[in-house]
A and B are shown apart, each in its own frame.
Chain A
Amino acid sequence: MDINVLLRMADQIEKNMPFAGDKAQLVATHMVKFWTPVMRADLYKEVSSRPADFSPVLVEVVDIMHSQANAVVPHGGLKGSSEA
C-alpha cells in the first residue's frame, strides 16, 4: 500500500483517538485490532527510518507494535471490537 495512505490513516487515528489512557498505547491497540500485519509493518518501517519527521506519539505507537511478538494481542485476543 502507498505509505502516504497509511501515514494519513495513522495521523487521523492519533488526532481523533477519544479514549482515556495512554494515547500511544490506545492507537497501537486500535491498529492491531484493525490493520493487517503488512500495514503495521510498513508503517513501522517508514516511521522508524526517520522518526524525527513524525509525532512522538506515532513513533511510540510503532515501537509498541513492533515490540509485540507478531503484533497479535495475546491472552485470548481483543473484545468488543466491532465496527458493524
Chain B
Amino acid sequence: MTSLSENLKYVRSGIGEPDYGTPASTSEELVSVTIDGITRQVAAGTSVMRAAGEQGCAIPKLCATDSLEPFGSCRMCVVEIDGRRGTPASCTTPVEDGMVVRTQTAKVAKLRRNVMELYISDHPLDCLTCPANGDCELQEMAGVVGLRDVRYGYEGHNHLDAPKDSSNPYFEFDGSKCIVCNRCVRACDEIQGTLALTIEGRGFNSKVSPGGLNFLSSDCVSCGACVQACPTSTLQEKSVIELGVPTRTVQTTCAYCGVGCSFNAELRGDELIRMVPAKNGGANEGHSCVKGRFAFGYASHKDRVTTPMIREKITDEWQVVSWEEAIGYAASKFKEIQAKYGDNSIGGVTSSRCTNEEIFVVQKMIRAAFGNNNVDTCARVCHSPTGFGLSQTFGTSAGTQDFKSVAKSDAIMVIGANPTDAHPVFGSRLKRRIREGANLIVVDPRRTDLVKSAHIEADYHLQLQPGTNVAVINALGHVVVTEGLVDEAFVNERCDRAAFDRWAKFIAQAENSPEVVEAQSGVPAESIRAAARLFASAKNGAIYYGLGVTEHSQGSTMVMGMANLAMATGNIGREGVGVNPLRGQNNVQGSCDMGSFPHELSGYRHISDNAVREQFESLWDVKLMAEPGMRIPNMLDSAVSGEFRGMFVHGEDIAQSDPNTKHVMHALESMDLVVVQDLFLNETAAFAHVFLPGTSFLEKDGTFTNAERRINRVRPVMASKTGKQEWEIVSELATAMGYPMHYDNSAQIMDEIASITPTFANVSFELLDRVGSLQWPVNETSPEGTPIMHVDGFVRGEGMFIETPFVPTDERANRKFPLLLTTGRILSQYNVGAQTRRTANSTWHPEDILEIHEADALMRGITDGMQVAISSRIGETLLKAHVTDRVPAGVVYTTFHHPLSGANVITTEYNDWATNCPEYKVTAVEIRPADSGGEATNTLDDVLMKA
C-alpha cells in the first residue's frame, strides 16, 4: 500500500502543501479499490479522487480542495469506473470494495480538455503578468489536460471586464478571473462559518458576491479562507500582487492568541510575502484569522527599535549604546540597588508573548542571578485563577482537551468568553459543531456573536450581571444535584466521594437555588434550570471559558465551580467534554509551565519543596531562596512604598495592561531602574532607564505552548533585526550580574527544561521537528504527548469537589456609579494593540468604543457616536459611545486595545482572592456626554502629564 504520496503534483503552488481534493475519511473500515491498475486498501468513505491522489495518481480538479467537502461542479475530475455508466466525478464518488477505476483514459482526457476549453474561453489570457503566474491551479490544469487551443473566441458575452474590489486592506477580488468554482463561498461557510459570501445571479450571470456589498463593508472577517481556497488569482493577497509569488516556506507558529495556529511563512528571498495556515497544524488544521493570516507587518514597522538605549533619568533623552554598555549599565544599576536596599529590592516579569526558552531563561536569571523569587508573568492578570482552580480540583494547571475535541461535544457551555473575536480559529471549530446540531449555552453579560449569528443560535443565553458567575455556576450545580442528574458512576469511580458529599450538601442549599440566584444574577430561574438539564443530560458536555471567568474577585472560585459541574456530570476524561480555558496570549500556558510564578519552579512545583529546589540548585550551581517572591501587584505596591526599586520587564506593557493605571505609573516612576525588553517603546518604556530591543516571532527560534498544552515550534523566518536572540541578551545580563549563563542555541535551553521538568521530559526540538507538535505531558508514559487529560484518573488521584460559596465583589454599583463596566476584545485587535495597531487591522477598529444600552443612553442624553466621559472612583477617561442592545441596561462594555482610551485608568485595585488576578470585568462607573461639563479627574492625559 502506498502511503500518502509525496509526489502528488496538483498543489496550490510549488511550495504549498499537497492537496488531495477531498477531506480524509475518518472511517476505520477498509475497502479494496483498484485505481489505474494499483490495488490498495483505503478507508471506507474516501473519495475516488483522494484515493487516487494518495497513491500518487493525481486527478485534475478545479472545484475540489481537501479542506472542503466535495462539490462536484467543475467536471474536471471525471473518471471511468468498471461496471458504471458514464463518467462520474471522482470527488463526489466514494470508493467501494472491489471498485476498479481508470483515471487516465482517452475518453476522460477529451472531456477534461473540452471542459477546460470552456473555462478558458471566459478567462483573461494574461498569465505572464498575472500575480498568480506559477501559483494558479487553472493555469496548471490547462497544462495538465493538454489544452492547446480555444475554439470559441473572445468576442461573445464574457466577464473579462468584471470590476475589481480592492476595499479589503489585505486582499483583492478580481471578478474577471473568477471561474465560479464556489470554493471561496464554501470556505466561508464550511471553514470559517461566517457565510459572508454567496453566488449572486444564475447561469452565466453567476458571480461571487460578499452579500451585494464590497468586501470591507460586508460581513467578511478577513480570515483568508476564501483567498486560500481560490484556485486562480481572483482572490489574491495584495502582498503577492505587489511583491510576487513566494518561493520558499518556513513553518512556524502565530504569536497572537492562545490558539497557537501553525503557519507556513512564505518568502521570496528574505522577504516575507504571506502567512498561509498550515494544514498539518494541530491547533488550526489549515485555518486562520485576520490577525495571524495578515497582521504580521508590525515586525518591520518603522516604530520598531532595534538598538539598545539607556538614560539616567526618565526625563532624559534616550542614548543609543552598544549591547555591552546597555547590559553593563543595567547590571551595575541592579547590583547597586541590591547593595543599598537588599536582595529583594529588584525583580522581573516574564512575557507570554515570548518563547518557552526565553521565559525559562528570564525566570532563571531572576532566581539565580538576582538571587530572589520576585518573578511573575502577565498570566497574573489573565489566567492565574485557572491554574489555581484546576490544580485544586483536577491536580494540574491546564485545560483538559485538545481543540479537536469540540467536534465530539453535544452540549457546549461557553462562559465569559467570546471565541469568535478573541480565539477566532477555535471559534470557527465551535460554530461548525453548533451548525452540526450540538446545543449551546452562553453565559455572558453581553450578547456575543455566538448567541445569535448566521446559522448559529444559543439554546440559552444566561445574561448574568457582571460579578455573579459563582452564583450562576452554583445554581447550575444545584439543579444537577437536586434533580438527580449527577453521574453517580463517574463520581464514585473517579472522585473523592467524601468531598462530593460535602459539596452536594452545600450546593443543594436553598441559597444556591436558581430562584434565589435569579435575584442576584438577573438570570431567570427557569433558564438556569433548563440549561442545567440540557448540559447534564448531554452525552458529551464541554465547558469553554475565558477571562470573563478569571478576571473577577472570585475568579479562582469560579474555576473550581466549573470543575465541580464537569465532574458531577461525568464530563471529564474523554473526547467532547472537559473544562477548557481559552488562553489570552500565545504562550500564557508556556509562561506558566516554565516557572514564571514567584512561588513555583517549572512544572508547577513549589519553591519550598526541598527535593525539587535541590535539583535546580544542583543543575544551576546556585543556592535558591526557599520562599515565594512577590507577585506583580506586590512589586508595584512595594515600589510605591519604596522597598522595591528595580524591575526587568520582558515583553509586557504593564503601564497599559495592568489595572489602575495611575497606581502602576506611580510605581514605575518610583523605581530607580526599569529595564524594558520589547519591540517598541511602549507605555511602560516611558518609565524605563534601559531599553533592550526584542525580537518579533518571525525572528525567534524556540517554542510556544498553546491553550491545549500543545508545544509548537517557532522557527526563525528571518534574521533577528537586533542581531541577537532574546535569551542571549538575558544570559548576558545574568552573566554581567555575576551569574555566568551561556547557551549555544535555544535547543539547548529546551534540553535543560526537559531535563528538569517532568511534564516536558521527552520534549526536544528534534522530536518536535519530527512529529510537528506535542501536547504535554510528554514523558515515558506518553512519549508523543497527551491530547486529553485525566482519561484514566485525575492527575491528583481522585477528583476533588470544593465548596464554592458566592461572595459578592466589593465593587458595587451605587448612586454615584450606577453602571457596571466590563471589558473584552474585538476580532481585529489584540490585547493592548502594540502589534495590531501597527497594521492595517486598525481599518476595522481604529478606536475603542463604549457599548451602552439605549435606556441608559437615553436617560443621560447620549446618542450613538457621541464622545462620552466614563468615570469610576479611580479615574476618568473618554470614549465614543455606541448605543446597542448587545449589553443589558445597567451594563456598559469596552475594549482596551488603544492606549489613548485608557480603559485601565478607571479599573480598580480589586482582584481575585487567591491569585490577585485583577477584577477587570466589574467596575462601577457613570457615563455622561463629554461636553456636558464637569471636571475629568485622573484622565490618561493627566496621568501621563504628571508622570
Asked if B796 and A16 make an inter-chain contact with CB atoms under 8 angstroms apart, the answer reads no
Q: Which residues of B contact A71 (CB under 8 A)?
A: 627
A56 within 8 A of B: no
Closest Cβ of chain A to B489, distance in Å, is 24
Q: Which residues of B contact A17 (CB under 8 A)?
A: 913
Interface residue from A2, A19, A79, A83 paired with B397 (Cβ < 8 Å): A83
Q: Which residues of B contact A57 (CB under 8 A)?
A: none
Asked if A36 and B344 make an inter-chain contact with CB atoms under 8 angstroms apart, the answer reads yes
Q: Which residues of A contact B598 (CB under 8 A)?
A: 36
Asked if B627 and A36 make an inter-chain contact with CB atoms under 8 angstroms apart, the answer reads yes
Q: Which residues of A contact B392 (CB under 8 A)?
A: 19, 80
Q: Which residues of A contact B387 (CB under 8 A)?
A: 82-84
Asked if A84 and B913 make an inter-chain contact with CB atoms under 8 angstroms apart, the answer reads no
Interface residue from A19, A35, A76, A81 paired with B611 (Cβ < 8 Å): A76
Question: How many Å lie between the Cα of A79 and that of B395 in the bound state?
Answer: 10
Q: From A7-15, A47-55, A58-66, give the one contacting chain B.
A: A7-15
Q: Which residues of A contact B589 (CB under 8 A)?
A: 84
B384 within 8 A of A: yes
Asked if B637 and A82 make an inter-chain contact with CB atoms under 8 angstroms apart, the answer reads no
Given A9-B916, A16-B554, A83-B914, residue A1 in contact with residue B634 (CB < 8 A): yes
Question: How many Å lie between the Cα of A12 and that of B917 in the bound state?
Answer: 13
Question: How many Å lie between the Cα of A15 and that of B810 in the bound state?
Answer: 11
Question: Scoring A residues 6 to 49 as 1 if CB is less than 8 Å from chain B, else 0, what string do you get?
Answer: 00010011011111100000000010011111110000000000
Q: Which residues of B contact A30 (CB under 8 A)?
A: 914
Question: How many Å lie between the Cα of A55 and that of B386 in the bound state?
Answer: 29
Asked if A73 and B608 make an inter-chain contact with CB atoms under 8 angstroms apart, the answer reads yes
B557 within 8 A of A: yes
Given A13-B914, A82-B397, residue A35 in contact with residue B628 (CB < 8 A): yes
Question: How many Å lie between the Cα of A66 and that of B598 in the bound state?
Answer: 21
Smallest CB gap from B639: residue in A: A1
Asked if B560 and A18 make an inter-chain contact with CB atoms under 8 angstroms apart, the answer reads yes
Question: How many Å lie between the Cα of A19 and that of B384 in the bound state?
Answer: 18
Asked if A2 and B604 make an inter-chain contact with CB atoms under 8 angstroms apart, the answer reads no
Asked if A77 and B609 make an inter-chain contact with CB atoms under 8 angstroms apart, the answer reads yes
Smallest CB gap from B915: residue in A: A83
Question: How many Å lie between the Cα of A17 and that of B807 in the bound state?
Answer: 10
Question: How many Å lie between the Cα of A9 and that of B805 in the bound state?
Answer: 18
B925 within 8 A of A: no
Closest Cβ of chain B to A56, distance in Å, is 19
Smallest CB gap from B342: residue in A: A38
Interface residue from A2, A35, A82 paired with B600 (Cβ < 8 Å): A82
Closest Cβ of chain A to B509, distance in Å, is 14
Question: How many Å lie between the Cα of A1 and that of B663 in the bound state?
Answer: 13
Question: How many Å lie between the Cα of A62 and that of B344 in the bound state?
Answer: 22
Asked if B610 and A84 make an inter-chain contact with CB atoms under 8 angstroms apart, the answer reads no
Closest Cβ of chain B to A13, distance in Å, is 5
Q: Which residues of B contact A82 (CB under 8 A)?
A: 387-388, 391, 396-397, 592, 597, 600, 604
Interface residue from B386, B609, B634, B805 paired with A76 (Cβ < 8 Å): B609
Q: Which residues of B contact A39 (CB under 8 A)?
A: 630, 634
Closest Cβ of chain A to B908, distance in Å, is 12
Asked if B641 and A2 make an inter-chain contact with CB atoms under 8 angstroms apart, the answer reads yes
Q: Which residues of B contact A78 (CB under 8 A)?
A: 606, 608-609
Category for how many chain A residues contact B = 20 to 34
Question: How many Å lie between the Cα of A50 and that of B223 in the bound state?
Answer: 61
B638 within 8 A of A: yes
Closest Cβ of chain A to B902, distance in Å, is 23
B775 within 8 A of A: no
Asked if B802 and A18 make an inter-chain contact with CB atoms under 8 angstroms apart, the answer reads yes
A69 within 8 A of B: no
Q: Which residues of A contact B634 (CB under 8 A)?
A: 1, 36, 39
Question: How many Å lie between the Cα of A5 and that of B637 in the bound state?
Answer: 8
B756 within 8 A of A: no
Smallest CB gap from B809: residue in A: A12
Closest Cβ of chain A to B463, distance in Å, is 25
Docked complex: B586-636 residues within 8 A CB-CB of A: 589, 591-593, 596-600, 604, 606-613, 626-631, 634
Docked complex: B500-543 residues within 8 A CB-CB of A: 502
Given A5-B637, A81-B600, A83-B391, residue A18 in contact with residue B804 (CB < 8 A): yes
Asked if B627 and A72 make an inter-chain contact with CB atoms under 8 angstroms apart, the answer reads yes
Closest Cβ of chain A to B201, distance in Å, is 55
Closest Cβ of chain A to B379, distance in Å, is 6
Closest Cβ of chain B to A2, distance in Å, is 6
Q: Which residues of A contact B916 (CB under 8 A)?
A: 9
Given A36-B628, A77-B608, A83-B384, residue A16 in contact with residue B557 (CB < 8 A): yes
Asked if B391 and A18 make an inter-chain contact with CB atoms under 8 angstroms apart, the answer reads no
Docked complex: B705-724 residues within 8 A CB-CB of A: none
Which of A15, A18, A20, A82 lies at the interface centre, i.e. has the most chain B CB atoms within 10 A of its CB? A82
Smallest CB gap from B379: residue in A: A84
Closest Cβ of chain A to B555, distance in Å, is 10
Question: How many Å lie between the Cα of A12 and that of B554 in the bound state?
Answer: 9
Question: Scoring B residues 323 to 350 as 1 if CB is less than 8 Å from chain A, else 0, what string do you get?
Answer: 0000000000000000000001000000
Question: How many Å lie between the Cα of A84 and that of B805 in the bound state?
Answer: 22
Q: Which residues of A contact B385 (CB under 8 A)?
A: 83
Q: Which residues of B contact A35 (CB under 8 A)?
A: 628
Interface residue from B607, B807, B909 paired with A16 (Cβ < 8 Å): B807
Question: How many Å lie between the Cα of A76 and that of B630 in the bound state?
Answer: 21
Closest Cβ of chain A to B328, distance in Å, is 30
B643 within 8 A of A: yes
Question: Scoring B residues 911 to 947 as 1 if CB is less than 8 Å from chain A, else 0, what string do you get?
Answer: 0011110000000000000000000000000000000
Interface residue from B609, B631, B637, B638 paired with A79 (Cβ < 8 Å): B609
Closest Cβ of chain B to A16, distance in Å, is 4
Question: How many Å lie between the Cα of A73 and that of B387 in the bound state?
Answer: 21
Interface residue from A1, A12, A38, A72 paired with B608 (Cβ < 8 Å): A72
Docked complex: B805-837 residues within 8 A CB-CB of A: 805, 807
Smallest CB gap from A33: residue in B: B599
B285 within 8 A of A: no
Q: Which residues of A contact B96 (CB under 8 A)?
A: none
Closest Cβ of chain B to A45, distance in Å, is 14
Question: Scoring B residues 555 to 572 as 1 if CB is less than 8 Å from chain A, else 0, what string do you get?
Answer: 011001000000000000
Question: How many Å lie between the Cα of A30 and that of B631 in the bound state?
Answer: 14
Asked if A77 and B610 make an inter-chain contact with CB atoms under 8 angstroms apart, the answer reads yes
Asked if B604 and A84 make an inter-chain contact with CB atoms under 8 angstroms apart, the answer reads yes
Smallest CB gap from A10: residue in B: B913
B499 within 8 A of A: yes
Asked if A19 and B637 make an inter-chain contact with CB atoms under 8 angstroms apart, the answer reads no
Given A1-B643, A2-B641, A37-B627, residue A80 in contact with residue B391 (CB < 8 A): yes
Q: Which residues of A contact B914 (CB under 8 A)?
A: 13, 16, 30, 34, 83
B737 within 8 A of A: no
Asked if A81 and B606 make an inter-chain contact with CB atoms under 8 angstroms apart, the answer reads yes
Q: Which residues of A contact B802 (CB under 8 A)?
A: 18-20
B640 within 8 A of A: yes
B553 within 8 A of A: yes
Interface residue from B396, B499, B612, B629 paired with A20 (Cβ < 8 Å): B499
Q: Which residues of A contact B391 (CB under 8 A)?
A: 80-84
B803 within 8 A of A: yes
Smallest CB gap from B590: residue in A: A84
Q: Which residues of B contact A (CB under 8 A)?
A: 344, 379, 383-388, 391-392, 395-398, 499, 502, 553-554, 556-557, 560, 589, 591-593, 596-600, 604, 606-613, 626-631, 634, 637-638, 640-641, 643, 796, 802-805, 807, 909, 913-916
Closest 9 CB pairs of A and B: A84-B592, A84-B387, A77-B608, A77-B609, A82-B604, A83-B388, A16-B913, A12-B913, A82-B397
Q: Could you write out 21 A-B pairs with CB less than 8 Å apart?
A: A1-B637, A1-B638, A12-B553, A16-B556, A16-B807, A18-B803, A18-B804, A19-B392, A34-B915, A35-B628, A36-B598, A36-B630, A72-B626, A79-B609, A80-B796, A81-B604, A82-B388, A82-B604, A83-B385, A83-B391, A84-B387
**Contacts A18-B803, A81-B606 supplied; 12 other A-B pairs, CB < 8 Å:** A13-B914, A16-B914, A33-B628, A36-B629, A39-B634, A72-B626, A76-B610, A77-B606, A77-B612, A77-B626, A79-B609, A84-B596
